[in-house]
Amino acid sequence: MPAYRTPLSDMRFLLHEVFDFPTHYQRLAGVEPVDAALLDGILEEIARFTEQELFPLNASGDRAGCRFENGVVRAPEGFREAYDGFVAGGWTAVTGAPEWGGQGLPATIGMLVEELTMTTNLAWGMYPALSHGAMNALEAHGTDEQKDLYLRKLHAGVWTGTMCLTEPHCGSDVGLVRTRAEPEADGSYRINGTKIFISAGEHDLAENIVHLVLARLPGAPVGTKGISMFVVPKFLPEGDGVGTRNGVNCAGIEEKMGIHGNATCVLNFDDAKGWLVGPENGGMRCMFTMMNAARLVVGLQGLGQIEAAYQGSAAYALEREQMRALTGPVAPERPADPIIVHPDVRRMLLTQKALAEGGRALGYYAGLQQDLARNADDAELRAQAQKRIDLLTPIVKGFLTEAALECTNHALQIFGGHGFIREHGIEQYVRDTRITLIYEGTTQIQALDLIGRKVLFDGGQALMALIDEVTATCNALADDPDLGEHARVLAELAKEWGELATDLGARGMENPNEVGAGAVDFLMYSGYVLVGWCWLRMMQVAGTATGEEAFLTGKQHTGQFYFRRLLPRTRALAATIRDRADALLDLPAASFSR
C-alpha cells in the first residue's frame, strides 16, 4: 500500500527561507495578520488532517467510486465524515471575508490547504475547491443580498458550489452554449438546458449545492458576448436553511478513467429558478474570475500528484532488489542491489524530485502575486501583481500538469509490473493526473491564452517585466563560484524567451497558425525557465542557510540535476517554436484517414 508524509521541510524552506512569507504578509492590507508561528501552526494542522483523514481514503475512494441511485449520488465511504471534519476545522472559510463568515486570511493560506488536500486525495479535494471557486465569483460579482445568502453558507461548508459551463455539443468553446434563461416577474429566471462533466455536481456531503450556470438571455448576441451567469441552488433557500427542490437534477454520473471519488455529473435544468450574477451578457468576465482561480488550483493538483508519486517510487527504489550495479555489488550481503543504484532509476527519481520541488516554488511564487493583487497596500503594486498572476496562471496550470503526467509515469516505470497493478496505488496517480491536462482548459488552450492574451495582447510588457526580474537574479549571481555558470545560462535563456515571443508574434501577424503551432512549446519553454529561476534562488539560499545538512545538500544536488538534465530541454523547444507551421499543416486532412 502507498505511504505519504507531508514534505514539511521543503514547504518550510520555501515559506521561511526562500520567499519569507511572514514578511510578505506584512505588506498586505485587509487581511488577518499571519506571523511565522501562526503560519507553521496552520501548516502543521492541515498536514495532520490530510495525512490522517484524507490520504487513507484515497485508494478506497478510487476503488469504490461514487454511486448513482435513483437520481441521488453517494460519495465513497468515509468522504462525508472527512468533509464534516474539514468543516469543523474551519478550513472551508480560511480566506473568505469576515463579513460573510470567512476568517480573512491571505490567499496563500488557502493555497497551502488546497495543495495538501489535492496531494493526499485529489478526488475528495475537488469538493471544497469547487466551492472556493464559486465563492470567488460571487464575492467579485454578486449582489450584497447574494453574498449574504450564499457566501455565509459556502464559508460555513453546509452548502457547496460548482461551475456549470460545458454542454454536450461544446466544451471550452462556451460561446456555443445553448442553455436558456427566461426572465420572471419576480426578478428571477427560468433556466433550461443540460450541462455535462460537472464535477461535484451532485453528492451527499452537504445540505445544498450552489450551481453557477452559464446561459443565454432572450435576444442575447451570438458567441461569448451573449453569455450571462446565474446562481441556481439545488434546493431553494428558505429561512436559514433550504426549502423545496429546485428544477435541477442529476441524470447520471460519468464512468471515467480516474478521480472516481468525485462525481462527474450530467445535470438537467428544467425550469430551474436562478438569479443573475453580474451584468446581463457579462458572464464571461464572471466565469474567468472562478476559472482563473480554478486553473491555479489545477496546477496545485499536478504538483500534488508529482509529490505523492515521487514519495511512493523513492521508497520503493530503496527497497526493491533487482540485479547488481553496473560497477559491481553495492549491497553484497543482499541477493541483489536495490534499484536506486541504477542510473536510469536515479534519472526518473531526480526528475520527479526536481519538478516537485521546483514546481512547488513556482506555485508559491504565483501565490505571492495573488496575495499582492488582492491585498497589497499600494494600488500600483496591486496592478503590477495582477498582470504578473495573469501571466503566470496558464504556465502554472499547463506546465505543472504536463510535468505531473511525466512524473507519475516515471513512478509507475520504477515500480515496473507492480506499478501496473492496483495494490501499490501508483497506477491511480497516473489515471487521476490525466484529467488535469484537460479540464479548466486543456494545455493547448492554456498555451494560446499565454501567448495570445497574456504576452502579445499587451505588447509583451508583462513578459518583459518578468524577464527583467529573472535576469536581475542571474546578473547578481553571474560571478558566484558555485552558481555563476547556471546563472549565465539562465540569463541567456531569459533573453531568448523574449526573442521567441517576439518572433512568434511577428510570424503570427502574417499567419495566425504560426502562433497555434508554437504555443504549447512556448508554454513549456516558459515553465522550464521559470522553474530554473526558482531553482537558482533555492540553491542560493541553500548555500548560505543553516539547518539540516542532508536537506540543504540535497537541494544543491537536485538543483544541479535540474540545470544539467532538465533545463537543456529548452534547446529542442526553441527549435520547434522557431519552426514553421507548414510542418504541421501542409499534409492534406484526407491523408490522415486510413
Cα distances from 311 to residues 179, 291, 408, in angstroms, run 45, 30, 11
pLDDT of residue 1: 61
Tell me what pLDDT residue 331 has: 86
270 in any annotated domain: no
- Which is it for the CA torsion 338, 343, 344, 346, positive or negative? positive
Q: What mean pLDDT do residues 310-321 have? A: 95
516 occurs within a structural domain: yes
Mean pLDDT of the 578-585 span: 95
State the Cα–Cα distance between residues 329 and 342, nearest whole angstrom: 11
Report whether 46 contacts 113 (CB < 8 A). Answer: yes
The mean pLDDT of 325-341, rounded to a whole number, is: 89
Under the banding of pLDDT at 50, 70 and 90, the label for residue 405 is very high
**Cβ-proximal residues to 22 (8 Å cutoff; 6+ apart), any chain:** 16, 34, 35, 36, 39
Three-state secondary-structure class, residue 414: helix
| C-alpha span between 133 and 54 (Å, rounded) | 21
User: Is residue 481 pLDDT above 90, yes or no?
Assistant: yes
Confidence at 270, pLDDT banded by 50, 70, 90:
very high
Domain membership of residue 199 (yes or no) is no
Q: Is residue 502 part of a domain?
A: yes
Per the CB < 8 A criterion, the answer to whether 376 and 27 are in contact is yes
| Digit-coded pLDDT (tens) for 180-195 | 999 999 999 999 999 9
Q: Of 25-29, 173-177, 212-216, 450-454, give the lowest mean pLDDT range.
A: 173-177
CB 75 within 8 A of CB 200: no
Q: Using H for helix, E for strand and C for coil, what is the string for 181-199? A: EEECCCCCEEEEEEEEEEE
- Is residue 549 annotated as a catalytic residue, yes or no? no
- Residue 347 within any structural domain of the chain: no
Exposed / middle / buried, residue 256 (Cβ in 10 Å: 0-12, 13-18, 19+): middle
Rounded to the nearest angstrom, the gap between the alpha carbon of residue 354 and the centroid of all alpha carbons in its chain is 18
Residues 350-400 have pLDDT tens digits of 999 999 999 999 999 999 999 999 999 999 999 999 999 999 999 999 999
Task: Read off the C-alpha cell for 467.
Answer: 524577464
Length of the chain, in residues: 594
- Our count of domains for the chain comes to 1
Is pLDDT above 70 for 8?
A: yes
Q: How do residues 54-82 score in pLDDT, each as one tens digit?
A: 999 999 999 999 999 988 999 999 999 99
Instruction: Determine how β-strand 159-164 pairs with β-strand 208-215.
Output: parallel
At 12-31, the pLDDT tens digits run 999 999 999 999 999 999 99
Q: Say if residue 175's pLDDT is above 80.
A: no
Grade residue 205 by pLDDT with cuts at 50, 70 and 90.
very high
Is 40 inside a domain boundary?
A: no
* Cβ atoms 360, 15 nearer than 8 A: no
What is the per-residue pLDDT for 197?
95
Q: Is the predicted pLDDT of residue 284 greater than 90, yes or no?
A: no
pLDDT (average), residues 103-117:
97
Return the higher-pLDDT residue of 292 and 277.
277
Q: So what's the pLDDT on residue 3?
A: 84
- What is residue 124's predicted lDDT score, i.e. its pLDDT? 98
Tell me what pLDDT residue 466 has: 98
Alpha carbon 263 to chain centroid distance?
19
The CA–CA distances, whole Å, from 246 to 91, 190, 198 equal 28, 11, 17
Confirm whether 104 is domain-assigned. Answer: no
Range of the domain at 458: 443-582
Task: Compute the mean pLDDT over every residue in the chain, rounded to the nearest whole number.
Answer: 95
pLDDT score for 332: 87
Query: Do residues 120 and 49 make contact, with C-beta atoms less than 8 angstroms apart?
Result: no
Q: Are 544 and 554 in contact (CB under 8 A)?
A: no
Catalytic residue among 202, 440, 496, 514: 440
Are 74 and 86 within 8 A, CB to CB? no
- For 523-565, give the secondary structure using H, E and C: HHHHHHHHHHHHHHHHHHHHHHCCCCHHHHHHHHHHHHHHHHH
Q: Which of 166-180, 449-463, 511-525, 564-578 has the lowest mean pLDDT?
A: 166-180
Neighbours of 185 (CB within 10 A): 5
Is residue 171's pLDDT more than 80?
no
Average the pLDDT over 218-231 and give the result: 93
User: In percent, how much of the chain has pLDDT > 70?
Assistant: 100
Residue 317 pLDDT grade (very low, low, confident, very high; cuts 50, 70, 90): very high
Q: Tell me how far apart the alpha carbons of residues 556 and 547 are, in angstroms, rounded to a whole number.
A: 14
Confidence band for 313, pLDDT divided at 50, 70 and 90? very high
Of 158-162, 324-328, 370-374, 576-580, minimum mean pLDDT range: 324-328
pLDDT at 510: 94
Q: Which residues of 542-557 are buried (b: 16+ CB within 10 A; e: fewer)?
A: beebeeeeeebebbee
Residue 367: Cβ-neighbour burial (10 angstroms; 0-12, 13-18, 19+): buried
Instruction: Read off the pLDDT of each residue in 464-468 and give the average, rounded to a whole number.
Output: 98
Q: The C-alpha cell of 544 is what?
A: 548560505
Average pLDDT over residues 456-476: 96
In Å, the largest CA–CA distance within the chain is 84
75 close to 91: Cβ distance less than 8 angstroms:
no
Cell of 488: 549565465
In-domain check, residue 53: no
* pLDDT value at residue 132: 93
